[in-house]
Structure 1
Amino acid sequence: MAAISELLSIGSGALEVVLVPQIGGSVSALRWRGIDLMRRLSDDDRKAGNVLGVAMFPMIPYANRIAGNAFDFGARRWQVLPNNPPEKFNVHGSGWQHAWTVTGSGRANATLSLDIAAGAEPYSYRATQAFSVSEEGLSVTMTLTNIGSVALPFGFGLHPWFDRDRDVTMQFNARCFYLEEPDGISGDPISLPPELDFARHRSLPGGWRNNDYGGWGGEATLRFPARGAGLRMRADPIFRHLMLYADPTKPYFCVEPQTNASGAFNRGRWDDPDEGIIVLAQGESAAGTVCFTPFSLEAGAQDGRA
């Protein structure tokens, strides 16, 4: 029987963040004033090492699916492996499926690291997640370095999971909406129609959503009225995309800040800033920070942004 993954707690004031490095370098819980603001990893999922049960995991060295498990870059065809059966296609890269190492920790901060050497897949990389907690909130700085011998396209992001309360609402600004094709593959972007727009707070859609919102403004706000709290997510400009996954049959939903557009590796528009692909030569790095700020609904209403 596998050993139960150890938890690492950091916090400041009313905010507590629990990490589970061995399960994909993930967050196990985000609590503020005793309120869970992300889906908490259950004891059973922790015992099973189930990364799909965590509160948040890293997407690295790219986000979302690669159709056909292959892409063309630098006059070569690069192959990746399916990694989330029964899905056919590789999803979210490899970082979330490895144990990460704690390379630094304190009362209110921790750094997790991961080194991957290319084997059957093309990527050799070093990744770090630096978690810092203050009374204001949690910041997560992701750094990705190409330690391979050739330049390759990269991307990264965070994959938080939230409880689907009946009264939850969401708000964010974006410019376009990527259609979904079979097998979860992202299709063409379209202008954002009013019925798909979250520029004003609205409830989660009643139907299926698994779509990338492009031209994301870098901020998203979730409100959980029954919990008396909300969570504001702010990201550096390198995060141009926000993925929304919402299945009305599931008790959770996901709102995922990411650098690359979903499906970008298959479209091959490497220099298109809207695609958000980061080409890194040997030894080059890219980094970005996402901040999560909890607030009471009363305070959020007063500042006019929640």
Structure 2
Amino acid sequence: MAAISELLSIGSGALEVALVPQIGGSVSSLRWRGIDLMRRLSEDDRRSGNVLGVAMFPMTPYANRIAGNAFDFRARRWQVLPNNPPEKFNVHGSGWQHAWDVTGAGAANATLSLDIAAGAEPYSYRATQAFAVSDEGLSVTMTLTNTGPVAMPFGFGLHPWFDRDPDVTVQFDARRFYLEEPDGISGDAVTLPPELDFAEGRPLPSGWRNNDYGGWGGEATLRLPARGAGLRMKADPIFKHLMFYADPAKPYFCVEPQTNASGAFNRGRWDDADEGVIVLAQGESAAGTVWFTPFSL
């Protein structure tokens, strides 16, 4: 990545979105009426190209970790590489660690594209993110195409980061909760217990959370009373899962819409609709849109 990545700004009315295509095809900031609704990329992180400091990055060609850096698909074992030291296992695929090309841009819209050819890892794919801003909000449409010679399992998602204000609340509906195993790996799914249910909206937990919520209803609402604003996320049905990360020792938290269940590639239940893995033949594509709508409190 470039040492200093240029900002690409789009906006409409009171909503301003800044992109950093060279830093993982990421969003640098989402501001409404001058209020930051996602964690803003700092100038130091922009200069150093630190993708872990952005407001939101794409997850592709799958979301979350692959235990053992390998999975079995159609009588073959596929290897991936660890990509986020000191973590042992590959996380979120490769898209977030490459510079994306700007293939379209206007005052209120932009399209970013990425082409990856299989090398040390098995995936060849083309990914696009189409950003569109209106007075109502931001939409991000992700499209993923298998450009490789054989069918492969795919997934994708968005990884927004939010400031951990003391009074923030989170609300969303889901049906299942995936237990966390060592090294951030997603384990068994259990019936959602009331202590972990966010259907009515609740403050961030005081303890560690790094869990996939399955059977997500496709909407999540964040309220930021100290900022006088909130943000509503709404996703197409292809996004069956919502990953929730909250470490009380960190000044941020994450609420991540994704198509595949965390850990699904290791479980290998490719035809299980709940797992959300998308098998794409050569040349096939999948797409989905997530909307981010600000509102006043």
Please tell me the TM-score bracket, short chain as reference.
over 0.9
Once the two structures are superposed, residues 224-251 of structure 1 have per-residue CA deviations (whole angstroms, 9 ceiling, x without a partner) of 0000000000000000000000000000
Percentage of identical aligned residues = 89
Residue 206 (structure 1) aligned with residue 191 (structure 2): no
Letter of the structure 1 residue corresponding to residue 92 of structure 2: H
Q: What is the distance in 1 between the residues matched to 2:285 and 2:2? A: 35
User: Secondary structure of the equivalent of 2:68?
Assistant: helix
How does 1:76-115 map onto structure 2 within 5 Å?
Answer: 76-115=76-115
Once the two structures are superposed, residues 109-159 of structure 1 have per-residue CA deviations (whole angstroms, 9 ceiling, x without a partner) of 000000000001000000000000000000000000000000000000000
Letter of the structure 1 residue corresponding to residue 57 of structure 2: F
2:173 is matched with 173
Segments of structure 1 that go 5 or more residues without pairing to the other structure are 298-306
User: Secondary structure of the equivalent of 2:47?
Assistant: helix
Letter of the structure 1 residue corresponding to residue 78 of structure 2: W
User: Secondary structure of the equivalent of 2:31?
Assistant: strand
2:134 is matched with 134
Q: What is the distance in 2 between the residues matched to 1:240 and 1:127? A: 19
Once the two structures are superposed, residues 79-98 of structure 1 have per-residue CA deviations (whole angstroms, 9 ceiling, x without a partner) of 00000000000000000000
Report runs of 4+ in structure 1 exceeding 4 Å deviation. none
How does 1:187-266 map onto structure 2 within 5 Å?
Answer: 187-266=187-266
Q: What is the distance in 1 between the residues matched to 2:127 and 2:63? A: 14
2:10 is matched with 10
Letter of the structure 1 residue corresponding to residue 72 of structure 2: D
User: Secondary structure of the equivalent of 1:265?
Assistant: helix
1:26 is matched with 26
Q: What is the distance in 2 between the residues matched to 1:137 and 1:9? A: 15
Q: What is the distance in 2 between the residues matched to 1:93 and 1:2? A: 20
Q: What is the distance in 2 between the residues matched to 1:244 and 1:266? A: 20
Letter of the structure 1 residue corresponding to residue 123 of structure 2: Y
8 Å CA contact 2:102–2:110 kept in 1: the answer is yes
Indicate how the Cα distance of structure 1 residues 2 and 102 shifts in structure 2: closer, same or farther if over 3 A, else same: closer
1:182 is matched with 182
Q: What is the distance in 2 between the residues matched to 1:279 and 1:207? A: 36
Q: What is the distance in 1 between the residues matched to 2:113 and 2:48? A: 22
Letter of the structure 1 residue corresponding to residue 234 of structure 2: R
Q: What is the distance in 1 between the residues matched to 2:223 and 2:267? A: 35
Q: What is the distance in 2 between the residues matched to 1:227 and 1:22? A: 30
TM-score in terms of structure 1 length: 0.96
User: Secondary structure of the equivalent of 1:167?
Assistant: coil
- Matched residue pairs, number? 297
Once the two structures are superposed, residues 164-189 of structure 1 have per-residue CA deviations (whole angstroms, 9 ceiling, x without a partner) of 00000010000010000000000000
2:278 is matched with 278
1:295 is matched with 295
Displacement after TM superposition at 1:201 (Å): 1.2
Q: What is the distance in 2 between the residues matched to 1:245 and 1:27? A: 19
Letter of the structure 2 residue corresponding to residue 17 of structure 1: V
Displacement after TM superposition at 1:2 (Å): 5.1
Q: What is the distance in 1 between the residues matched to 2:207 and 2:59? A: 25
Q: What is the distance in 2 between the residues matched to 1:183 and 1:158? A: 21
Once the two structures are superposed, residues 268-294 of structure 1 have per-residue CA deviations (whole angstroms, 9 ceiling, x without a partner) of 000000000000000000000000000
2:154 is matched with 154
Indicate the larger mover: 1-10 or 218-227.
1-10
Alignment root-mean-square deviation, CA: 0.8
Displacement after TM superposition at 1:3 (Å): 3.6
Letter of the structure 1 residue corresponding to residue 252 of structure 2: Y
Q: What is the distance in 2 between the residues matched to 1:197 and 1:3? A: 42
Letter of the structure 1 residue corresponding to residue 163 of structure 2: D
1:67 is matched with 67
8 Å CA contact 2:81–2:89 kept in 1: the answer is yes
8 Å CA contact 2:3–2:49 kept in 1: the answer is no
Q: What is the distance in 2 between the residues matched to 1:88 and 1:141? A: 31
